[in-house]
Amino acid sequence: MGVVRIGLEGKLYYGTAGSQASTEITKCKDVTIEMEANMADISSRASDGWRSKKPTLRDLAIEFDIVWSDGDAVATALRNAFVNGTAISLYAKDYDSGAGPDCDFYVARFGRNEPLEEGMSVPVRCEFTDENRGFTWS
């Protein structure tokens, strides 16, 4: 059995669209990488009564929260990308020398949570785009 990893070991980086992200987002928490394939129904009489499927287009999204602090460069870059409709580079590795999606994204959600008994946070959802460079698992 390989080394078991915990979420704390994961790394998330951001940068300029079109290039590999290289600035670590250290104030992020609860990172979720979602990859999902839409499925085409290719059933026929030859399927012997079973529905048969084949993957078609896939979706890739990364969701995370950032701990809010005034003037935070990461939150500012993500907010600007959201407001201006521009892409940003993200690279999500499972640990220091690990691997994960390394590509460009549009910021689809950017907000601010203000719970009474916890620190403020910024919920972010980013969705893949290949306008500047394609999908890579580095």
Answer whether residue 43 is part of any domain: yes
Given a cut of 80, whether residue 1 has pLDDT beyond it is no
The predicted model scores a pTM of: 0.91
Given a cut of 90, whether residue 97 has pLDDT beyond it is no
Lay out the sheet containing 102-110: strands in order across: 23-24, 11-16, 87-93, 102-110, 121-129, 53-67, 28-41
What's the pLDDT tens digit per position in 2-53? 889 999 999 999 999 999 999 999 999 999 999 999 999 999 999 999 999 9
User: What's the confidence (pLDDT) of residue 3?
Assistant: 86
Answer whether residue 117 is part of any domain: yes
Answer whether residue 24 is part of any domain: yes
Answer whether residue 136 is part of any domain: no
Helices (runs of H) and strands (runs of E) counted in the chain:
1, 7
Which residue shows structure tokens 């919920």? 123
Answer whether residue 1 is part of any domain: no
* Total of domains in the chain: 1
User: What's the confidence (pLDDT) of residue 28?
Assistant: 95
- Domain that residue 82 falls in: 7-129
